[in-house]
């Protein structure tokens, strides 16, 4: 993986001067720099499959996020522009916005209105400003997957695509009553992504925030109710890293995880499973998009080409092609073709429903924590450990861990990210 | 013979050099890391470590594991070594089979035991087929701490009894027969002979075996991580967590310091308690 990344970046380094040479003669190839699809196979799939029907010529140059940022800053400072289009995860490209490097794309967004972008995702592309600076391209997120055997126990009147945490609890409790087993599962093992559930789903759903509301009364409610829900959770959950495994063995009937970590269950046995959005709490349906989008730097040599590429990449058929070969899913309501792998189709539908939920609260991946992001995650996992696994009082636990969080935020000076309201300076734990 | 006197030192020079470079230098670096925070000397890493949720559990689990595994391993190995004395044919084969676990990597051993003890593992299958249980039972969860501890201890005992055995067997082989025969002549029972003659003569080997095993048991990591995961923190797995997941090298180094201090203390205790005066050496 590392070596492949290295090869990909070396290939990028080799490609760039070639491009420069050509670019100075005639603006034929649009230079498209991306922090995503870096592995050689993925980059190759990008060039040969995803970009196959694009009429213009494109130089797709994958590179590390840090390298992309440095390059764009250097190009802006020296006013020598080579790159026309940028792709990266939302949090990776955000630092370019306050530096004034990105071109407003409101006209592009308006022209693409009929593509059916999830409004929440489009809104994220403003980076907290009044202008559209980033157009969503592809995404991944966390979804829920259930074995069809669990469906008869859904609470009466509950819509599986718009569940609440209370309904999920009632559902899992009924499954337990009927089977005698706890069949709800979470990825709380050593390399599981359980912290993302707290940072992006549970706490935003109950408190509307993550950092600022960490010590709030709403947060205490969230932890109290989650501890109650945990009574229906398979105790092996603290060993689960990828939920597709217990889903396939039948040890778990209802599970939450990153789409990449349940996709095997969906594609191997698409007839046995359903996929649906994570539940909603009192404040809404918290969810964590892993959003990859497109930006055009100010002074780009080929603005028209870049805009044409944005148009191309967000077309329904290209969105579906991307889902097929790249493992990233549509950000628009692209209609799914009948021949799409049924498991992939389940995942895409669940992700589209998540993004389109009217009560959605998008919670971003933590931004600006640097090498403290591991300790940030630990605060949420330790609170879970205290309240849920060790039965400590939620109030005392959030106060204790909240103090650690407050110190971490002031040490890093990281400003708030969504859904917390924007802050001047470090994000403050209220 | 001037060159002859320097020869031994020349011969051990490469080993000494490698030890110094690959052990003493990293040790000094670890000490520096543990006692530095934000570029200044401080105890901050140690207070972070001591305040951490898992620190208490990690200390207790580590000591518990050593307290159970080391005595059991010692008794097993001593028994096996004694039995081997009386085996005439097939002794080498037996010794070879008994030392197989030594050739298995820690992590592989952990994974093997995980395959036995997990919900869909061999133990559950066997118990199910025997009709002892109606459905798979979970042994390795946070709700079953006793079974989990037992599982980790059994795996650790299986994996590392052989090293104790090999040291004791080597010690037993060089014991002079005359002492045992003399005891028998004076009418000592086999048990009396074992307790009063064999054990005291074996003391140097026992000391070596216990020091090695105890130090390594405090460093148990891969087996514990494979079977216990987050449910069974020990000192070294916490060091790994702080280094790998929390990306805080200082706190990881503080854990390493704790493991080192415990190891040195354990070694000193064994050296003092199992001291053999020069006159009594076999």
Q: What is the pLDDT of residues A101-137, one digit of tens each?
A: 999 999 999 999 999 998 878 988 998 789 999 999 9
Structure tokens at B42: 């401080």
- Number of other CB atoms surrounding residue A69 within 10 Å: 20
Q: How far is CA A171 from the centre of its chain?
A: 27
**Which residues of A fall within a CB distance of 8 Å from B248?**
374-375
**Which residues of A fall within a CB distance of 8 Å from B142?**
235, 238, 389
Q: Residue A423 burial by CB count (10 A; 0-12/13-18/19+): exposed, middle or buried? A: middle
Interchain contact, A190 vs B119, CB within 8 Å: no
Task: Assess whether A124 and A49 both reside in one domain.
Answer: yes
Task: Assess whether A387 and A276 both reside in one domain.
Answer: yes
**Which residues of B fall within a CB distance of 8 Å from A189?**
229-230
3-state secondary structure of A397: helix
A374 close contact with B: CB closer than 8 A? yes
Residue A312 sits in a domain of what CATH number?
Answer: 3.40.190.10
- pLDDT for B282 equals 52
Q: How far is CA A80 from the centre of its chain?
A: 33
CATH assignment of B55-280, among 3.30.365.10, 1.10.3720.10, 2.60.40.10, 3.40.50.300: 1.10.3720.10
Task: Give A428's contacts (C-beta < 8 A, 6+ positions apart).
Answer: A211, A212, A406, A409
Is residue A374, in this structure, part of any structural domain at all? yes
Query: Cα distance from A386 to chain B (closest Cα, Å)?
Result: 8
Task: Assess whether A275 and A226 both reside in one domain.
Answer: yes
Chosen from B53, B58, B231 to mutate, greatest number of chain A CBs within 10 A: B53
Number of domains in chain A: 2
Is residue A11, in this structure, part of any structural domain at all? yes
Q: Which residues of chain B have pLDDT under 50?
A: 1
Chain B: residue whose CA lies nearest to A388: B142
Please state, rounded to an integer, the average pLDDT across all residues of chain A: 89
Whether A236 contacts B141, CB under 8 Å: yes
Interchain contact, B231 vs A377, CB within 8 Å: no
Task: Assess whether A284 and A153 both reside in one domain.
Answer: yes
Of A249, A374, A382, the CB nearest to B120: A249
Whether A276 contacts A146, CB under 8 Å: yes
Of A236, A371, A386, the CB nearest to B247: A371
- Tell me which residue range forms the domain holding A164: 142-288+362-430
Task: Assess whether A181 and A306 both reside in one domain.
Answer: no
How do beta strands A29-34 and A57-62 pair? Answer: parallel
Task: Give A346's contacts (C-beta < 8 A, 6+ positions apart).
Answer: A266, A270, A273, A274, A275
Q: Given CA atoms A151, A153, A155, A157 in this order, what sign does their dihedral have?
A: positive
**Which residues of A fall within a CB distance of 8 Å from B53?**
382, 385-386
Count of all residues that appear for chain A in the document: 430
- pLDDT for A392 equals 95
Query: Which whole number is the average pLDDT over A27-34?
Result: 86
Of A190, A371, A385, the CB nearest to B53: A385
Query: Which whole number is the average pLDDT over A149-174?
Result: 94
Task: Give A424's contacts (C-beta < 8 A, 6+ positions apart).
Answer: A415
Interchain contact, A374 vs B140, CB within 8 Å: no
What letters, b where the CB count within 10 A reaches 16 and e where it falls short, cover B239-260?
Answer: bbbbbebbebbbbbbbbbbbbb
Interchain contact, B225 vs A239, CB within 8 Å: no
At which residue do the structure tokens 């020598």 appear? Answer: A80
A86, containing H or E segment = strand A85-89
Is residue A42, in this structure, part of any structural domain at all? yes
Interchain contact, B246 vs A382, CB within 8 Å: no
Task: Assess whether A6 and A51 both reside in one domain.
Answer: yes
Whether A285 contacts A278, CB under 8 Å: yes
3-state secondary structure of A314: coil
- Residue B170, preceding bond cis, omega within 30 degrees? no
List the one residue out of A84, A58, A59 whose CA is nearest residue A71.
Answer: A84
A389 close contact with B: CB closer than 8 A? yes
Query: Cα distance from A405 to chain B (closest Cα, Å)?
Result: 14
What is the rounded CA–CA span in Å between residue B127 and residue B131? 6
pTM of this structure: 0.82
- pLDDT for A16 equals 46
What is the rounded CA–CA span in Å between residue A133 and residue A169? 40
**Which residues of B fall within a CB distance of 8 Å from A249?**
120
Q: Which of A44-48, A78-82, A155-159, A371-375 has the lowest mean pLDDT?
A: A371-375
Pairs of CB atoms within 8 A across A/B = 43
What is the rounded CA–CA span in Å between residue A16 and residue A8? 12
Task: Assess whether A146 and A133 both reside in one domain.
Answer: no
Query: Cα distance from B217 to chain A (closest Cα, Å)?
Result: 22
Interface of B with A (CB under 8 A): 53, 119-120, 138, 140-144, 225, 229-231, 245-248
How do beta strands A254-258 and A184-185 pair? Answer: parallel
Query: Which whole number is the average pLDDT over A153-181?
Result: 94
Is residue A211, in this structure, part of any structural domain at all? yes
Whether A316 contacts A332, CB under 8 Å: yes
Of B53, B229, B245, the CB nearest to A239: B229
Task: Assess whether A168 and A273 both reside in one domain.
Answer: yes
What is the rounded CA–CA span in Å between residue A392 and residue A201? 22
Query: Cα distance from B141 to chain A (closest Cα, Å)?
Result: 6
Q: Domain coordinates of chain B in residue numbers?
A: 55-280
Chosen from B58, B143, B229 to mutate, greatest number of chain A CBs within 10 A: B229
A95 close contact with B: CB closer than 8 A? no
Higher pLDDT, residue A230 or A364: A230
Task: Assess whether A13 and A116 both reside in one domain.
Answer: yes
Q: What is the ipTM of this complex?
A: 0.84
Query: Which whole number is the average pLDDT over A187-213?
Result: 94
Whether A196 contacts A258, CB under 8 Å: yes
Of A238, A251, A374, the CB nearest to B247: A374
pLDDT in tens, A81-105: 999 999 998 888 888 888 899 999 9
How do beta strands A184-185 and A273-276 pair? Answer: unpaired
What is the rounded CA–CA span in Å between residue A160 and residue A136? 27
**Which residues of A fall within a CB distance of 8 Å from B245?**
374, 377-378
Structure tokens at A103: 């071109």
Q: Residue A102 burial by CB count (10 A; 0-12/13-18/19+): exposed, middle or buried? A: buried
Count of all residues that appear for chain B in the document: 282
What is the rounded CA–CA span in Å between residue A188 and residue A97? 35
Is residue A344, in this structure, part of any structural domain at all? no
Task: Give B261's contacts (C-beta < 8 A, 6+ positions apart).
Answer: none
- Number of other CB atoms surrounding residue B33 within 10 Å: 19
**Which residues of B fall within a CB distance of 8 Å from A235?**
138, 141-144
Q: Where does the pLDDT of residue A355 fall: very low under 50, low under 70, confident under 90, or very high at 90 and above?
A: confident
Query: Cα distance from B136 to chain A (closest Cα, Å)?
Result: 10
Which whole-number Å values give the CA distances from A114 to A270, A313, A430, in the listed order? Answer: 31, 14, 41
Query: Cα distance from A13 to chain B (closest Cα, Å)?
Result: 30
Of A189, A251, A377, the CB nearest to B119: A251
For every residue of chain B, which 3-state class applies, written as one string? Answer: CHHHHHHHHHHHHHHHHHHHHHHHHHHHHHHHHHCEECCEECCHHHHHHHHCCCHHHHHHHHHHHHHHHHHHHHHHHHHHHHHHHCCCCCHHHHHHHHCHHHHCCHHHHHHHHHHHHCCCCHHHHHHHHCCCCCCCCCCCCCCCHHHHHHHHHHHHHHHHHHHHHHHHHHHHHCCCHHHHHHHHHCCCCHHHHHHHHHHHHHHHHHHHHHHHHHHHHHCCCHHHHHHHHHHCCCHHHHHHHHHHCCCCHHHHHHHHHHHHHHHHHHHHHHHHHCCCCHHHCC
What is the rounded CA–CA span in Å between residue B191 and residue B197? 10
pLDDT in tens, A273-318: 999 999 999 999 999 988 999 999 999 999 999 999 999 999 999 9
A371 close contact with B: CB closer than 8 A? yes
């Amino acid at each position: 993986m590392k070596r492949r990344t290295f090869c990909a970046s070396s290939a990028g380094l080799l490609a760039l001067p070639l491009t420069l040479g050509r670019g100075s003669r005639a603006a034929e190839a649009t230079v498209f720099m991306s922090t995503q699809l870096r592995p050689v196979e993925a980059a190759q799939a990008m060039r040969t499959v995803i970009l196959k029907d694009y009429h213009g010529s494109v130089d797709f140059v994958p590179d590390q996020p840090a390298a992309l940022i440095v390059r764009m800053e250097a190009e802006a400072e020296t006013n020598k522009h080579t790159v026309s289009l940028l792709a990266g995860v939302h949090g990776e490209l955000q630092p370019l916005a306050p530096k004034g490097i990105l071109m407003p794309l409101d006209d592009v967004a308006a022209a693409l209105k009929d593509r059916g972008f999830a409004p929440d995702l489009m809104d994220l592309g403003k980076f907290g400003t009044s202008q559209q600076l980033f157009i969503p391209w592809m995404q991944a997120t966390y979804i829920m997957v259930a074995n069809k055997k669990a469906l008869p126990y859904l609470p009466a009147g509950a819509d599986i695509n718009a569940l609440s945490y209370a309904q999920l609890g009632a559902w899992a409790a009924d499954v337990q009553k009927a089977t005698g087993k706890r069949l709800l599962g979470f990825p709380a093992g050593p390399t599981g992504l359980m912290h993302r559930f707290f940072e992006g789903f549970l706490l935003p759903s109950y408190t509307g925030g993550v950092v600022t509301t960490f010590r709030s009364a709403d947060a205490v409610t969230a932890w109290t109710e989650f501890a109650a829900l945990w009574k229906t959770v398979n105790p092996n959950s603290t060993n689960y890293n990828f939920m597709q495994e217990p889903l396939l063995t039948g040890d778990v009937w209802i599970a939450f995880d990153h789409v990449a970590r349940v996709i095997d269950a969906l594609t191997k046995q698409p007839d046995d499973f359903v996929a649906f959005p994570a539940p909603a709490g009192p404040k809404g349906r918290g969810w964590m998009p892993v959003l990859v989008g497109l930006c055009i730097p100010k002074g780009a040599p080929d603005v028209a080409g870049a805009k044409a590429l944005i148009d191309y990449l967000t077309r329904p058929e290209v969105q579906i092609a991307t889902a097929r070969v790249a493992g990233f899913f549509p950000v628009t309501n692209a209609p799914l073709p009948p021949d799409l792998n049924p498991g992939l189709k389940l995942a895409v539908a669940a992700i589209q429903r998540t993004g389109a939920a009217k009560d959605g609260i998008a919670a971003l991946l933590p931004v600006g924590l640097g090498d403290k992001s591991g300790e940030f995650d630990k605060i949420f996992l330790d609170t879970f450990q205290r309240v849920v696994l060790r039965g400590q009082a939620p109030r005392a636990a959030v106060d204790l861990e909240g103090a650690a969080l407050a110190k971490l935020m002031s040490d890093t000076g990281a400003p708030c990210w969504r859904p917390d309201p924007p802050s001047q300076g470090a994000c403050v734990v209220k | 013979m001037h060159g002859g006197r320097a020869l031994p030192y020349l011969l051990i020079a490469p080993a000494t050099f490698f030890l110094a470079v690959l052990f003493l230098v990293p040790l000094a670096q670890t000490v520096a890391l543990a006692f530095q925070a934000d570029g200044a000397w401080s105890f901050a890493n140690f207070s972070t470590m001591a305040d951490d949720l898992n620190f208490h559990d990690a200390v207790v689990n580590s000591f518990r594991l050593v307290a159970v595994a080391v005595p059991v391993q010692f008794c097993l190995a001593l028994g096996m070594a004694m039995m081997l004395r009386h085996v005439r044919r097939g002794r080498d084969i037996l010794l070879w089979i008994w030392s197989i676990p030594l050739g298995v990597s820690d992590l592989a051993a952990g994974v093997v035991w995980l395959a036995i003890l997990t919900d869909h593992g061999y133990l559950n299958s066997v118990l199910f087929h025997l009709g002892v249980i109606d459905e798979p039972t979970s042994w390795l969860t946070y709700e079953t701490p006793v079974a989990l501890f037992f599982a980790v201890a059994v795996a650790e005992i299986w994996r590392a009894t052989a090293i104790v055995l090999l040291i004791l067997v080597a010690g037993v082989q060089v014991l002079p027969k005359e002492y045992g025969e003399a005891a028998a002549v004076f009418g000592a029972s086999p048990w009396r002979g074992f307790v009063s003659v064999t054990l005291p003569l074996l003391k140097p080997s026992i000391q070596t075996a216990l020091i090695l095993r105890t130090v390594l048991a405090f460093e148990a990591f891969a087996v514990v991580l494979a079977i216990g995961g987050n449910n069974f923190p020990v000192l070294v797995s916490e060091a790994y967590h702080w280094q790998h997941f929390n990306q805080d090298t200082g706190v990881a180094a503080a854990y390493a310091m704790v493991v080192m201090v415990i190891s040195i203390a354990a070694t000193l205790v064994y050296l003092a308690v199992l001291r053999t005066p020069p006159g009594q050496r076999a």
